[in-house]
Amino acid sequence: MTSSRMERGTQIRAEVLGAEHVRRAQGAATDFDRPMQELVTEYCWGTVWDREALDRRTRSLLNIAMLAALGRAEELRAHVRGARTNGCSPEQIQEVLLQVAVYAGVPAGIEGFRVARAVLDDAKV
């Protein structure tokens, strides 16, 4: 594991998803799934999210589209919160989910809207 990538990945992951989310995910890791947490932190966050060709807003919107299309509700929740942190508006999230409905199927779009709405409603409290 590259120490600098892990450190950078932890930093970016905390900036996007929140330090508490990262502490929870890493703190709950067992010997069995710790390698997955390390892989996600080092490569997803420390390598890909650290590249400069796409800004964080764009990466967030792409993640929302992919996670909604794949039906990955739990990860979608985290990334909708992260998208708001990265400056994405509810209208931009809405547009991405409409695109998902057209290209990945209406059920995927409906579920994406359901998840995003709950996250956005919680943020209003």
Could you read off the pLDDT of 23-72 as tens digits, one per residue?
Answer: 999 999 999 999 999 999 999 999 999 999 999 999 999 999 999 999 99
pTM, entire model: 0.91
Residues 74 and 90 grouped into a single domain: yes
pLDDT digits (tens, 9 = 90+) for 65-81: 999 999 999 999 999 99
Residues 24 and 74 grouped into a single domain: no
Residues 84 and 61 grouped into a single domain: yes
What backbone phi and psi angles, to 5 degrees, belong to 39?
Answer: -60, -45
CATH code at 123?
Answer: 1.20.1290.10
Query: By residue range, what is the domain housing residue 26?
Result: 1-53
Residues 67 and 49 grouped into a single domain: no
Burial group, residue 76, by CB count within 10 angstroms (0-12, 13-18, 19+) = buried
Domain count for the chain = 2
Residues 2 and 42 grouped into a single domain: yes
